[in-house]
Chain A
C-alpha cells in the first residue's frame, strides 16, 4: 500500500493525543493527577486535543474531494470510517465539559473523565478497524491491528504524560513502571505480529485467476504506464531494506525510549530527558506506520503480476 504521509501523521499524532487524554482521565479516576494543579491538568488536556486536531486536519489532506467530507458522518451503521468521524467529533464537547469540570471543580468530574477516556479509546478502536476490517489486505485483517494501534496510543500518550509530569516536577515512579511495562508488552505484540505476517497465507494468483491446478504467470498487465491501481497498491520496497527498517523501527520506537525511561527511573539522568524520549518514540512510530503501509500487500497485486500476497 502506498504510505500517504497525511495518513501517517494522522494516525500517529492523533493516536498520541487520544492516549494522553486516556491517561489524564485514568489519572482522575485512579487519583494520580491529584498532584497536579487545575491549570496543569487543563494544559495536559489541551495538549491532547491539539495533537488530536493536528491529526484530524491532516487526515482530511488525503481526501481527493474534501468538500464532501461532511457527509462522512452518515453511514455510522456500516462504515468504520464513518464511526471514527462521529466519535472523533463527539469527543470535543465531552473533553470541553471535562476541562470545565476540572476548572470549576464540578462534582461530576469523575464521570466526565471516564467518558472522555472511553471516547478516546473507542475512537482509537474505530480508526484501527478501518484497516483491520479490510479482507483484501491480509497483513491488516487481524485483531492484532486494533490491539497494536491502541497499545501505540497508550505508550506514546503515556510517555508524553510522564514528560509533562516531569516538567511540572511531580513525576511518579509507579507510573513510570507502568508505562515501561506497557512498552514491553507492545514490543512483544509487535514481534508476534512480524512473525505471523511472515507466514505464507491468503489469496494467490491461482485463486485470483481461477486456474487452481496450473502455474500462472502474468504476460501483460494491459496498460503501458502506471495506473491508479499501481500507484495505490503496487508500492514495493526491497526485502533487505524492509528488514533493516524493521530493526531501526524496533530500536527507535521501543528500545531507546525504554532505556531512557529506565535511566530516569533509576535516577541516572535528569527527568527532563523524558520529553526527548517521547520525541524519539514519535519518530519511531512514524516509521512504524510507514512500514505498516509499505508491508501491506493488497490482493489486487495478483492481477499486476505477483504470485502471492
Chain B
C-alpha cells in the first residue's frame, strides 16, 4: 500500500479547517500534545502538522488565488528517514507512512533540514520532532464507523478538496483523480518522490462574448454553417 492524499487546488478555498482539525486530533493523538508557545499572547507560535499557503498565480487581471495546504508528503525517497541518526524517524513498510518515534528522537533538527516541504516542526515543549501521521491512529481504528476511518483533515474539509487513499491501487479514487486531472508533485526535481499529489486548477471553458447583438448572432450562425 502507498497511502497518501490528493489535494484539489481548484476547490481549496484556504479556510484552514484542515489545519485546525489536524491540530485538534493530533494534539491528543499518538504523538501529542502539539504544544504552543504563548497561545494567548501577542505572537503565538507552536507546532502544526499542516499549514496553508496562499499564492497569486499569473498576472492581474488574469491572476488567480491558489491555496496550497502542505503537510507531510510521505515521500517514497524520504531523506528525512535516512538522515536520522537515532532511528526515530521511520517509514512503514506496509503502507508507506512516515512517522517519528517520540521516545527515540533527540531533537537534532536534521530531518527538518532534509525535508523540502517544511513538514517537520520541533515541539518547543518535548524537544522532539513532530509531523503528520496521516492520522495512523484513526485510519486503522476499527471502533470507528468505516466512513470515519480517514485523516481528520480529509473528514473536515468543507469543499471535499482533500481525498485520502491508496496510490498503489489503480482503481482507487486518489489514483483516478491523479490520472484524470493530471495531478502533480511539488518540487519533483529534488527526487524525493512525494506521494501526496496536487490537482492543478481546471482551465475555465472559453466563453463566447456575452453581449451579442441579434445581427452578430445571425452572422455567427451563417459562418458556422458555411464552415461546416
Judge whether B188 and A64 touch: CB under 8 Å: no
Is A214 close to B, CB under 8 A? yes
Task: Output the least CB separation between A70 and chain B (Å).
Answer: 9
Q: How long is the Cα–Cα vector from A228 to B186 in the complex, in angstroms?
A: 21
Judge whether B55 and A222 touch: CB under 8 Å: no
Chain A residues near B108: list those with CB within 8 A. 62-64, 72, 81
| A69-B121 contact in complex given A74-B85, A209-B66, A217-B56, C-beta closer than 8 Å | no
With both beta carbons as reference points, the residue of chain A lying nearest to B82 in the complex is identified as A78
Task: Output the least CB separation between A108 and chain B (Å).
Answer: 33
Is B158 close to A, CB under 8 A? no
Chain A 213-244: CB-based contact to B (< 8 A → 1; otherwise 0) = 01111111111111111001100000000000
With both beta carbons as reference points, the residue of chain B lying nearest to A4 in the complex is identified as B109
Judge whether B121 and A226 touch: CB under 8 Å: no
Chain B residues near A81: list those with CB within 8 A. 83, 85, 108, 110
Is B104 close to A, CB under 8 A? yes
| A225-B116 contact in complex given A214-B57, A219-B55, C-beta closer than 8 Å | no
Chain B residues near A80: list those with CB within 8 A. 83
Chain A residues near B198: list those with CB within 8 A. 210
Task: Output the least CB separation between B63 and chain A (Å).
Answer: 8
Chain B residues near A214: list those with CB within 8 A. 57-59
Chain A residues near B191: list those with CB within 8 A. 135
Chain B 71-99: CB-based contact to A (< 8 A → 1; otherwise 0) = 00000000101111111100000000000
Task: Output the least CB separation between B16 and chain A (Å).
Answer: 7
Task: Output the least CB separation between B73 and chain A (Å).
Answer: 12
Judge whether B127 and A64 touch: CB under 8 Å: yes
Judge whether B113 and A299 touch: CB under 8 Å: no
With both beta carbons as reference points, the residue of chain A lying nearest to B16 in the complex is identified as A222
| A299-B200 contact in complex given A64-B107, A219-B56, C-beta closer than 8 Å | no
| A210-B200 contact in complex given A81-B83, A215-B59, A228-B47, C-beta closer than 8 Å | yes
Judge whether B48 and A203 touch: CB under 8 Å: no
Judge whether A71 and B86 touch: CB under 8 Å: yes
Q: How long is the Cα–Cα vector from A220 to B118 in the complex, in angstroms?
A: 16
| A208-B187 contact in complex given A64-B122, A74-B85, C-beta closer than 8 Å | yes
Q: How long is the Cα–Cα vector from A130 to B188 in the complex, in angstroms?
A: 22
Is A104 close to B, CB under 8 A? no
Kindly identify, within residues 10 to 63 of chain B, every residue whose CB is under 8 Å from any CB belonging to chain A: 14, 16, 19, 42-45, 47-48, 51-59
Judge whether A65 and B186 touch: CB under 8 Å: no
Chain A 253-280: CB-based contact to B (< 8 A → 1; otherwise 0) = 0000000000000000000000000000
CB contact between B85 and one of A1, A72, A203, A216 (< 8 Å): that residue:
A72
Is B174 close to A, CB under 8 A? no
Judge whether B48 and A133 touch: CB under 8 Å: no
Is B189 close to A, CB under 8 A? yes
Is B139 close to A, CB under 8 A? no
Judge whether B105 and A68 touch: CB under 8 Å: yes
With both beta carbons as reference points, the residue of chain B lying nearest to A76 in the complex is identified as B85
Kindly identify, within residues 90 to 144 of chain B, every residue whose CB is under 8 Å from any CB belonging to chain A: 103-110, 112-118, 121-122, 124, 126-128
Q: How long is the Cα–Cα vector from A303 to B52 in the complex, in angstroms?
A: 10
Is A137 close to B, CB under 8 A? yes
Judge whether A211 and B105 touch: CB under 8 Å: no
Q: How long is the Cα–Cα vector from A232 to B86 in the complex, in angstroms?
A: 21
Chain A residues near B81: list those with CB within 8 A. 78
15 extra interface residue pairs, beta carbon distance < 8 Å, beyond A71-B104, A211-B66, A303-B53: A63-B107, A63-B127, A78-B82, A79-B82, A81-B85, A135-B192, A136-B115, A207-B189, A210-B185, A216-B56, A217-B56, A220-B14, A220-B54, A222-B16, A225-B44
13 A–B contacts from the bound complex (CB under 8 Å): A68-B106, A78-B81, A78-B83, A135-B114, A135-B192, A136-B114, A207-B186, A227-B45, A227-B48, A228-B122, A228-B124, A232-B113, A300-B116
A-binding residues in B (CB < 8 A): 14, 16, 19, 42-45, 47-48, 51-59, 65-66, 68, 70, 79, 81-88, 103-110, 112-118, 121-122, 124, 126-128, 184-192, 198, 200
B-binding residues in A (CB < 8 A): 1, 62-69, 71-75, 78-82, 85, 130, 133-137, 203, 207-211, 214-229, 232-233, 298-300, 302-303
Q: A-B pairs with the 9 shortest C-beta distances? A: A64-B107, A64-B127, A225-B43, A65-B127, A82-B85, A71-B86, A68-B106, A65-B107, A72-B85
